Structure 1
Amino acid sequence: MFKSSFPLTFIVFLPAVLILVSPLPAEAAHEFTVYRMQQYDLQGQNYGSRNAILNTEARTVEADVLSRRCVLMRLADFSYEKYQKALRQSAGAVVLVLPTNMSTLPQDIVQQFMELEPELLATETIVPVYFALEDDELLSIYTQTQDSSTSQGSSSAAEVLLHSATANGFQMVTSGAQSKAVTDWAITSLEGRLTGVGGEDLPTIVLVAHYDSFGVAPWLSYGADSNGSGVAVLLELARLFSRLYSHKRTHAGYNLLFFLSGGGKFNYQGTKRWLEDNLDHTESSLLQDNVAFVLCLDTLGNGDSLHLHVSKPPKEGSPQHALLRELQMVNTFYPDLKFSMVHKKINLADDTLAWEHERFGIRRLPAFTLSRLDSHRSVARNSIMDIPHVDLKKLSRNTKLIAEALARVIYNLTEKVRAMSLVQDQLTSLIDWLASQPRAAQLVDKDSSVVSTLEYYMGHYLKDVKRHFVKADKRDPEFVFYDQLKQTMNAYRVKPAVFDLLLALCIAAYLGLVYLAVQHFGVLYSILRRLTAPRAKQH
């Protein structure tokens, strides 16, 4: 056959060559990290995604059929209608692909997504919802999946069948287990104080800020402004007044109590328990004595406005009114800053409180919240788009204003003079550190580096620094957290089922031809001989 018949050689040995030759190396799988949507229970109501297991084929939202498919969406093309379409068609999962540097996104896309985040969490869903940061491989997977999804709407059935047989598909699989409730989770809060001079029965000023962040995905919730800025301001105030209280001439007749609360985004659970411990279960506490006022700090990093949120307008002559007056006075030093008071009564019918000062107001302690936001419903308070970006000049300006107003109240300064004029560069390092890591309540346990670092910082400037813990009641828990919030996902390159069918038909046809060739080898051989025999020369 080798010597005299090339066609026979071609027919017999070509399949063997194709089988034996190694295929070219190809990227068969891509592994990347995904972050699951919030899953928690609050006040007996379920929120977020209730599932974590994913093992299904990828599609984009353009596909006609999304049932039991993993729907890939890019943030630039995301909308609530598309998300609802995936849920209505019983999609197997939703993966939202985010750009690595979200600060490069157009502001309208950022604002639109921030407004959608509360709606995504408003009702629970059994569909696993994940977020992934975009890279070259993931973008390639999305592009190929989108091409495969859009081809399904072609007018020609033959084109659809051919594309289905030749296109690459991707099977999306998570490596983790099903999510389950985390038992005995402890929310940690921190307390420290500066003791005044001049007697035991001194008025107390309480400064409060919650340190946890919140967003649609806990591992992507950096909370640079809300409430990293509030924590940075509180710690800077602790540093400034500790220096004043360390000298006899400036040791004032006020006790200063600093409180960093945990669980602020979950109806201020840390503050609630702290008040119960100090007012209901303790015989001696600074909160049981003469409390001048409680000032809560929330979202102070950007903007050119400052609002004092109150549940009850302060009476003239009270320490609360004195603080309001001094804030207005110091504000005259900053013409670019607009200051106002916002009055809102506490609505006990709501499932969650609007501001942290309302926790104190319920216990009849005079309190208010200072924030750049004019409403507690602002989407900027609970968004993964609150990325590590704070206007340091405006944060420094706001810190100076608060420090000067407090100093004027504490030292009873009545003249129009500057009480404090400088905030150190340490404020910059504080906000950079706070904004460099997610601080969702589900991620910050009692052994977290966030808690230990905050405790160390407070201990450097304050006295009697201690921790306070709150755990959910086992019988009737006010809050329940769940695990599996960060997982590894694999995208395996696969062919669709129709490819297996087409390949089986091709193999069957090939084997049939080989069988016929063997059974009628004499006829085939004579035909091939005639085709390959040299033609006789004509004379």
Structure 2
Amino acid sequence: MFEEASEVFDNMLKASFPFTFIVFIPAVLILVSPLPAEAAHEFAVYRMQQYDLQGQPYGTRNAILNTEARTVEAEVLSRRCVIMRLADFSYDKYQKALRQSAGAVVIILPKNMSAMPQDIVQFMELEPEMLATETIVPVYFAMEDDELLSIYTQTLTSSSSQGSLSAAEVLLHTATANGFQMVTSGAQSKAISDWAITSLEGRLAGVGGEDLPTIVVVAHYDSFGVAPWLSYGADSNGSGVSMLLELARLFSKLYTYKRTHAGYNLLFFVSGGGKFNYQGTKRWLEDNLDHTGTDKCNDSLYLLRGPTSCLPTQLQSVILTVFFCSSGSPQVVTSQYPEVKFSMVHKKINLADDMLAWEHERFGIRRLPAFTLSHLPSHRLAQRSSIMDVRPHVDVKKLSRNTKVVAEALARVIYNLTEKGAPGDLQIFTEQMVQEEQLSAVVDWLTAQPRAAQLVDKDSSVVSTLEYHLGRYLKDVKRHYVKADKRDPEFVFYDQLKQTMNAYRVKPAIFDLLLAVCIAAYLGMMYLAIQNFGVLYSVVRRITQPKAKTH
């Protein structure tokens, strides 16, 4: 190949020196010039939530991006892709991009989100505001890497310098600076039809007759955050599901032996759609209370005579007063764990609200006694619905301790120990019985994958694995499905939540114009030089000819 190329260049030199000068020299200059950095970078982006709930749209309504990158420091953001790091993010900057009709917003998240707590707290508080209203501007999140950070730095330098330069300097800078064209590979988002939310149910039957009171333990398994593909839900509600499975294991052992078989039915319900107004629990109650033709209406299961524990979070402050309403003394916490603070929060259910605060309110609407255990004093706190709710935020030792507290309190209820005046230091479960390793393993497994309701279908490994674990300890494990009504859907999900974005290194349009002018000038000069080669040759010869010596 190289021999053939050398022959071509040799023929060019022999045939026409002017032609060689015009074509060969620029080609050599281009080839030997230092190569620029990578001309394109491909990375994954995760789109902000897009869903409809009770007919109200939320999140971003667009998923297509093909525009030039800018940072929020630029004066003009219209039809530009605004990229910003989480460390520099603020709601005012975000609103500035929306007000100027930006083409898109890309927020770069750090690799280790738990390493910057102050920024995490600030962003967690802003997530609900970002989702409160819909926007046509596509909003994406991307994980930081070296190439993406380099793109951001170059774009920031370009955007920041334009405001302090003169008009001529801006023109020159615009013509010579590198830009980046951000392009997504996906199509426009569309509604997902016939999406099924899956819930799981398993039970331990009590002894002593058919008409037994039933205690239901509920925990929703899905997570929620501003971006579905980044919603890992470690504390809300990975820790709750982990505790529910451990409670199922502990009480399955008690219900195996006749001497410890209690006169209560225990039903464990892992609900889906918890973050979307508890759709799984809503449908389960409708099926068991409203459909008189079902078998469950012939027994007292739906009476739920006992506390319903939704267990949504880590339980650093445990609310256990309801367990001891008959005796009036929180014996377990006071005697065994005096360092644990507990309180009882009364909240009226506002039926006018589109969103319920806690899952137990679904039962309260049906006049069924229920309450929620949580370490959060208010349902409005952002920790319940954030992409920052990651694995390091769950303290497994505290989770293990709280699991034992709940198990002890529940056992005292089903064995009527509170009414018999049992001593507070009586322990039904020892600390060794609660398997901390299993709690940790379940939390690790749940937080290893996003569990947003839009991503967990009936064939998901999350559902099948939960069903397997429930089947190890419980009887009559079955699935319940929720599909939105086609005429008046309670919820609508959309696709294109994860896409591939390409950042192409480009020059602005003015650079093409400047380059065309330079090429035209170069060719014009070469044309004049060839046409007047004799004159040029004589001038060059006169200049280069040595002067004659004078005596």
Is 1:419–2:428 an aligned residue pair? yes
Select which of 84, 89, 94 maps to 1:83: 94
Q: 2:262 & 2:19 partners in 1: Cα distance?
A: 105
Instruction: Report if the CA contact (8 A) 2:69-2:181 is conserved.
Output: yes
**Counterpart secondary structure, 1:231:** helix
Structure-2 change in CA distance of 1:7 and 1:429 (3 Å): same
Residue 407 of structure 2 corresponds to residue 403 of structure 1: yes
The equivalent residue for 1:223 is 233
Match for residue 120 of structure 2 among 75, 96, 110: 110
> CA deviation digits over 1:48-82, x for unaligned, max 9?
00000100000000111101000000000000000
Output the aligned Cα RMSD. Answer: 2.2
- In 1, the alpha carbon distance for the partners of 2:124 and 2:31 equals 56
SS of residue matched to 1:207: strand
Contact 2:211 2:300 in 1 (8 A): no
**Further displaced range: 231-240 or 512-521:** 512-521
**1:171 maps to 2:181:** yes
Give the fraction of aligned pairs with identical amino acids, expressed as a percent: 77
Would the aligned equivalents of 2:192 and 2:495 in 1 still touch at CA under 8 Å? yes
Name the amino acid aligned to 2:97.
A
Q: Is the 1:53–1:174 contact (alpha carbons within 8 Å) kept by the matching residues of 2?
A: yes
- Output aligned runs, 1:121-270, within 5 Å: 121-270=131-280
Is the counterpart of residue 291 in structure 1 residue 291 in structure 2? no
CA 1:9 to 1:173, structure 2 compared with 1: closer, same or farther past 3 Å?
closer
Aligned partner of 2:550 in structure 1 is: 538
Per-residue deviation, 1:353: 0.6
Structure 2 partner of 1:490: 502
Q: Is the 2:184–2:501 contact (alpha carbons within 8 Å) kept by the matching residues of 1? A: yes
Contact in 2 for aligned 1:326/1:408 (Cα 8 Å): no
What is the one-letter code of the residue matched to 1:335? Answer: P
Q: Give yes or no for contact 2:315–2:373 (8 Å, CA) kept in 1.
A: no
Cα offset, 1:22, TM superposition: 8.4
Using the TM superposition, give the Cα deviation of residue 332 of structure 1 relative to its aligned residue in structure 2, in angstroms: 3.3
- Find the aligned partners of 1:218 and 1:460 in 2 and give their Cα distance: 30
2:362 aligned to which of 348, 359, 362 = 359
Counterparts in 2 of 1:290 and 1:82: CA distance versus 1, 3 Å: closer
Distance 1:154 1:268, change over 3 A: same
Tell me which of 452, 455, 470 is aligned to 1:443.
Answer: 455
The residue correspondences of 1:20-39 to structure 2 (distance < 5 A) are 24=35, 26-39=37-50
Provide structure 2 residue ranges, at least 5 long, that are not aligned to the other structure.
Answer: 1-11
Distance in 2 separating the partners of 1:98 and 1:24: 30
- Does the CA contact (< 8 Å) of 2:252 and 2:473 recur in 1? yes
1:367 is paired with a residue of what secondary structure? coil
Amino acid at match of 2:279: Q
Partner of 2:9: none
Separation (CA, whole Å) in 2 of partners of 1:168 and 1:20:
20
> Alignment partner of 2:345: what SS?
strand
364-373 or 13-22: which moved more? 13-22
| TM-score, length of structure 2 as denominator length | 0.91
Structure holding more strand per residue: 1
Q: Deviations over 1:138-175 (max 9, x none)?
A: 00010011111112112322221222111111110100
- Equivalent residue for 2:60? 49
> What letter corresponds to residue 431 of structure 1 in structure 2?
V
Is 1:428 aligned with 2:436? no
Query: What is the CA–CA distance in structure 2 between the aligned matches of 1:129 and 1:30, rounded to whole Å?
Result: 19
Q: Measure how far apart 1:47 and its partner are.
A: 0.2
Write the distance in 1 (CA, Å) between the matches of 2:84 and 2:35: 31
The alignment partner of 2:373 has SS state of strand
**Which residue of the partner structure matches residue 5 of structure 2?**
none
Does structure 2 retain, via aligned residues, the 8 Å contact 1:307–1:374? no
CA distance in 2, matches of 1:79, 1:538: 82
C-alpha change, 1:350 and 1:16, in structure 2 (3 Å) is: closer
User: 1:522 and 1:469, CA in 2 relative to 1: closer, same or farther beyond 3 A?
Assistant: same
Is the partner of 1:131 in helix, strand or coil? Answer: strand
State yes or no: 1:385 paired with 2:385: no
Distance 1:177 1:12 in 2: 43
* 1:484-508, Cα deviation, whole Å (9 max, x unpaired): 0001000011111111111011111
Which deviates further from its counterpart, 33-42 or 406-415? Answer: 406-415
The amino acid across from 2:259 in the alignment is R
- The one-letter code sitting in structure 1 at the alignment partner of 2:85 is R
Question: Alignment length, in residue pairs?
Answer: 526
Structure 1 residue 64 corresponds to structure 2 residue 75 = yes
Distance 1:176 1:505, change over 3 A: same
Q: How many angstroms does 1:299 deviate by?
A: 3.3
Q: Which amino acid aligns with 2:335?
A: T
Q: Deviations over 1:298-357 (max 9, x none)?
A: 333263x12369xxxx7xxxx7724x8565543431122101110001100111111101
Q: Is the 8 A contact 1:278 1:287 kept in 2?
A: no
The CA deviation string for residues 240-271 of structure 1, in whole angstroms up to 9 with x for no partner, is 00011111111111110110000000000000
Provide the C-alpha distance between the structure 1 equivalents of 2:102 and 2:224, rounded to a whole number of angstroms.
26
What residue in structure 2 maps to residue 343 of structure 1?
A: 346
Residue type at the aligned position of 1:516:
L
CA pair 342-8 structure 1, distance change in 2 beyond 3 A: closer
In 2, distance between residues paired with 1:145 and 1:48?
Answer: 27
Is 11-20 or 269-278 further displaced after alignment?
A: 11-20
Q: 1:292 to 1:12 in 2, by over 3 A?
A: closer
What CA deviation, in whole Å up to 9, does each residue of 1:476-533 have, x standing for no partner? 0010000000010000111111111110111111111112212322221211111111
Query: 2:518 pairs with 494, 500, 506, which one?
Result: 506
- How far is 1:428 from its partner? 1.4
Q: Compute the displacement of 1:378 (Å).
A: 1.0
Report the Cα distance in structure 2 between the residues aligned to 1:374 and 1:24, rounded to whole angstroms.
58
Q: 2:543 is paired with a residue of what secondary structure? A: helix
SS of corresponding position for 1:428? helix
Check 1:474–1:532 CA distance in 2 against 1; reply closer, same or farther (3 A cut): same
Corresponding residue for residue 368 of structure 1? 371
Q: Structure 2: how far apart are the matches of 1:222 and 1:326?
A: 37
CA–CA distance in 1 between the matches of 2:123 and 2:23? Answer: 61
Contact 1:357–1:367 (CA<8 Å) still a contact in 2?
yes
Alpha-carbon distance between aligned partners in 2 of 1:40 and 1:2, rounded to the nearest angstrom? 68
The one-letter amino acid paired with 2:67 is T
Runs of 4 or more above 4 Å deviation: 6-13, 19-23, 286-290, 324-328
